[in-house]
Chain A
């Protein structure tokens, strides 16, 4: 009975992804897009990016994007189940790790493993940036805006929130 339930399917996928999310939530975006949009057709490209934009414009951790995916499927219950599905598996791992770490003391290979995971995170996050731009942009001005935001954030100390606000204004004016 539960096999056909989209929230259960999403949650099982999230639980799995939670454990391979090297470098946070951003590396998961392409896989989430594939699952929600391409494979199951539960969201359109625009629907996916709209929920992502909404999550970024709200306070709190990035995982609220996953909350919105669950909400889109079945409302409040879906929202809570999906959030638990992304938070709990990796949290249990972190909890176990903290327990072991407290008794073992320092471990020398932290830095090496962390450095080794960097290229994987970089490749996946770059893929996420391209994917969200592709899905949200309606023309070359969209790509220009994404590139401009990336450069401005790298070169200045402006708070990211202003970038989102500027993007919203340009969108409202029909420029991107």
Chain B
């Protein structure tokens, strides 16, 4: 994973700057922005390397963009690279969200503000639903996978079981299913 413009791994400072760029411009889904910045604009990664990294970071638990940052930083500059990437990614968004939150606290009780933010929340819920629908499309060919997804949904919504329990039981079942279906 070399910097295309220099032929060497990027410096930690360059990693910091690249991820600061991603954090500052990523609205509603940072991963597409990450691809745009790392592959197209800064040429720190090939499209293929990015696809590999994306697969890996979806495999690992935790927020995907955080994993992507850590994997990329570690592979290029070790722990320092990972730390530089995380700092870059989070510093500005943290400041912005805290300023927004402080402003919001002042006006939270104004009915118009409460109504507007309620509308934004519902739209955000629609975005989450679209994410789920898009992922159902990926498993539509296996009835067992769809049934497992439905059971997980029911355990969370209807039965109110703890997330930890659901994941610890359902994840191995899913992997077993995927293994049995691997040639399909």
A8 at the interface (CB under 8 A from B): no
Residues of A near B117 (CB, < 8 A) are 50, 53-54, 168, 171
Residues of A near B100 (CB, < 8 A) are 54, 57-58
Q: Size class of B's contact patch?
A: 35 or more
Residues of A near B75 (CB, < 8 A) are 98, 102
Given contacts A124-B156, A164-B120, contact A21 B61 (CB under 8 A): yes
B98 to chain A: closest CB distance in Å?
A: 6
* A43-62 interface with B by 8 A CB criterion: 46, 49-62
Would you call A19 and B162 a contact (CB within 8 A)? no
Would you call B178 and A113 a contact (CB within 8 A)? yes
B72 to chain A: closest CB distance in Å?
A: 9
Residues of A near B177 (CB, < 8 A) are 116, 119
Most B C-beta atoms less than 10 A away, residue of A17, A61, A151: A61
Residues of B near A149 (CB, < 8 A) are 122-123, 125-127, 129-130
Would you call A54 and B101 a contact (CB within 8 A)? yes
Residues of A near B145 (CB, < 8 A) are 118-119
Most B C-beta atoms less than 10 A away, residue of A98, A111, A138, A148: A98
B144 to chain A: closest CB distance in Å?
A: 8
Would you call B114 and A46 a contact (CB within 8 A)? yes
What's the tally of chain A residues with a CB closer than 8 Å to chain B?
Answer: 107
B96 at the interface (CB under 8 A from A): yes
Would you call A160 and B127 a contact (CB within 8 A)? yes
A11 to B110 Cα, complex, angstroms: 31
A12 to chain B: closest CB distance in Å?
A: 12
A6 at the interface (CB under 8 A from B): no
Quick one: closest B residue to A26, CB to CB?
B128
Would you call B164 and A112 a contact (CB within 8 A)? no
Most A C-beta atoms less than 10 A away, residue of B96, B132, B138: B132
Would you call A90 and B119 a contact (CB within 8 A)? no
Residues of B near A129 (CB, < 8 A) are 125-126, 128-129, 131-132
In addition to A119-B177, A127-B153, A146-B129, 8 A-B residue pairs with Cβ atoms within 8 Å of each other are A20-B168, A58-B100, A60-B26, A112-B182, A120-B152, A122-B132, A124-B156, A163-B123
Q: List, sorted by A's number, 6 A–B pairs whose CB atoms are closer than 8 Å.
A: A68-B97, A68-B101, A116-B174, A122-B153, A142-B122, A145-B126
Q: Which B residues are within 8 Å of any A CB, using their own CB?
A: 23-30, 55-67, 70-71, 74-75, 79, 82, 86, 89-90, 92-94, 96-98, 100-101, 104, 108, 112, 114-136, 138-139, 145-146, 148-157, 160, 162-164, 166-168, 170-171, 174-179, 181-182
